[in-house]
Structure 1
């Protein structure tokens, strides 16, 4: 191994260990790793600059601003009020319809702020109907994660895998290219949650839900505070709401029709909202989630170091050697399973950076298209259901609902296996080798 490979491997191991240890914020850990690689000369300043200006970062930052403009306009509060009225009429069925509606939003907006805003509403409505909030808070998290897998912008994992694949020479994904895989996963997962989650949580659901003892919730190492504090009522401003919604729909449509990449259309939309005074520059900065953006940028730098030093090629060679006697389907299953296990332990950004180059090289070594392997990384990189710490939204509902750790194992582990099977079948059908 070369010196650069050794340094990259040491930094990678240290970053992974620190993320598992979970005593330091994840964005600080990733940034520290990137700084060491820069100081030691493994990566150049221009490559670090490129990581912070990557399309995934631009797209996410812009979408955060657009989503915050929608929130400030009061349109989300109006939607929540309508959902509450529906639940009062329909009872438990109304709550499941509310979860479905929130899931639809998660196809196009980051799931974390959606759950932060929606979880207190789901809890309060369930309590008002004399139903246990525990019955619905965990499905809320799982459904938003599953529906986030339905589009390219539904989760930061998809955008980052697309970005890393582009660095490896692969064409970029379309807005709805992964939808034929994400939708069956979401439907199968939602049906399972509707039919079985209550039975699996029967003992826990019978327990009362207490108020959280702490005011801080750790989401992937970044403090977001008590989720109840985010349920601030915003006055409804119809003109600003209409403009913000039009800009949001326009940005999605431009990207879906291939007029412009999502990074460009979302960035133009965010700037347009500032120019039209729908949101002020200070509010736009406030809508950014720097801890998420910095975490992703830092991990992109580590991914670049793995690629430039040849460490990714070494790891791929070892995996390919063990997979050479098997076919592409077996390799796909192994890759999905490996990614899913890593996602339960590490952040989504870390997994995307680690596994995407391996997926591309593995497919090329087998003489097949990398596309199905990349889709598998996207799906498995978000499908973390078996622990309360596998995904940011799980942490929020874990704290608010007062769940036990084993509740997530009981409900989430079967969900992992179901979505695993559905994803493999759907990938084979829509992304042939």
Structure 2
């Protein structure tokens, strides 16, 4: 290895160790790694600038603003109120229907704000119906993550993999290109949760959660905050709600019809909401989640360093050396398993940046299309079900539901295996080598 590769590897190992140690905020860890790479000349300032202005960052930031406009207009509160009424009429079946509805929205909105808004509602409705909240809070987190796998914008993992693949010279993914894989994944996972999650939780599902949720929730070093504080009631403003909804639907439609990339349509939509005074500029800035955006940007810099230094190619050569006698399907299974295991230990953004360049180089070395390998990274990069710290939404319900660590292992580990099998079958069917 050359000097740049050694430096990149040292930074990579240090960043990964710091993220596992989890004593320093993950966005600070990622920025520190990017700063070292910049100061040592492994990456150039123009490459760092490109990382902070990448399409994934622009798309996520813009979608955060649009989602915040929907919240401020009171439209989400109206939707939640209707859901509560439905659950009061239908009982436990209504709660599962509510989870399914939240899942549908999570196909197009980031899962974290959906869980932040929905978790207190699910908890309170379950309590009012004299049902154990634990039975529904964990499935809420899992369902939003599974639903996020259905579209390109459903989770930051998908956007980041798409962005890193573009850096590696691959064509961009369409809005619904991964839907044929994501939908079977979500349906299989949802059915499993409906049938077995309560049984696997056993007595734990009947134990009461804490009556008061205080303090801050920490996930991957990112301060998420008290979920109850995010449920602040907003007065319904019909005109602003209609405008925000129209802009959101328009941005999604333009991207789905390939009129404009999602980064462009979402950015234009966010600016339009400010010009129409649906949100003020200050409110728009308040809707951003800088910790998440900075974390992703910092990890993109590390991913670029892996690419330009040749470290990704070296790692792939080592991986291929152990897989050279195997078929592409075996390589795909190994890559999926590796990505899924890493996702349980690290943030999904970290894993997406680490594995995407390796996936592209691995496919090239095997002489097959990189597409199935990239889709595998997208799916496995979000499939963090076996620990409460694999995904931010898990952290939220972990404290709110007063779960134990092993509760996630009992329910999440079988879910990992089910989604693994379904994803491999679906990728084979819709993304041939």
Same fold (TM > 0.5): yes
Tell whether 2:92 aligns with 1:97.
no
| Matched residue, 1:177 | 177
Alignment pair present for 1:263 and 2:254: no
Is there any run of 5+ residues in structure 2 with no aligned partner, and where? none
Aligned length: 433
Query: What residue in structure 2 maps to residue 76 of structure 1?
Result: 76
Give me the whole-angstrom Cα distance separating, in 2, the residues matched to 1:390 and 1:322.
28
Q: Residues 213 and 228 of structure 2 are in contact (CA less than 8 Å); yes or no, is this contact kept in structure 1?
A: no
Aligned 1:121-136 pairs, distance under 5 A: 121-136=121-136
Residue matched to 2:221: 221
CA deviation string 1:85-130 (max 9, x = no partner): 0000000000000000000010000000110110000000000000
Per-residue CA deviations over 1:60-93 (Å, capped at 9, x if unaligned) read 0000000000000000000000000000000000
Please list, as runs of the form range in 1=range in 2, the aligned pairs for 1:35-114 lying within 5 A after superposition: 35-114=35-114
Which position in structure 2 is the counterpart of 1:158?
Answer: 158
Any idea what SS the aligned residue of 1:380 has?
A: helix
Tell me how far apart the structure 1 counterparts of residues 244 and 196 of structure 2 sit (CA, whole Å).
38
User: Residues 212-291 of structure 1 correspond to what in structure 2 (within 5 A)?
Assistant: 214-291=214-291
Contact 2:133/2:208, CA 8 A, preserved across alignment: no
- Contact 1:212 1:402 survives alignment (8 Å): no
> Aligned partners of 1:161, 1:359: CA distance in 2, in Å?
10
Native 8 Å contact 2:339 2:355 kept in 1: yes
Q: Equivalent residue of 1:201, what SS?
A: helix
CA RMSD across the alignment? 0.7
1:409-424 map, 5 Å = 409-424=409-424
Distance 2:343 2:205 in 1: 27
**Matched-pair contact (CA < 8 Å) for 1:212–1:399:** no
CA distance in 2, matches of 1:260, 1:313: 32
Q: In structure 2, how many angstroms separate the alpha carbons of the residues matched to 1:303 and 1:255?
A: 26
1:385 corresponds to which residue?
A: 385
* Paired position in structure 2 for 1:322: 322
- Structure 1: gaps spanning 5 or more residues: none
- Taking structure 1 as the reference length, what is the TM-score of the superposition? 0.99
1:332 aligns with 2:332: yes
Report the Cα distance in structure 2 between the residues aligned to 1:283 and 1:226, rounded to whole angstroms.
20
Contact 2:213 2:226 in 1 (8 A): no
Superposition deviation, residue 220 in structure 1: 2.4
TM-score (norm 2): 0.99
**1-side partners of 2:212 and 2:373: how far apart?**
41
How far did 1:219 drift?
2.5
Asked if 1 retains the 8 angstrom alpha-carbon contact of 2:162 and 2:172, the reply is: yes
Shift of 1:211: 3.5
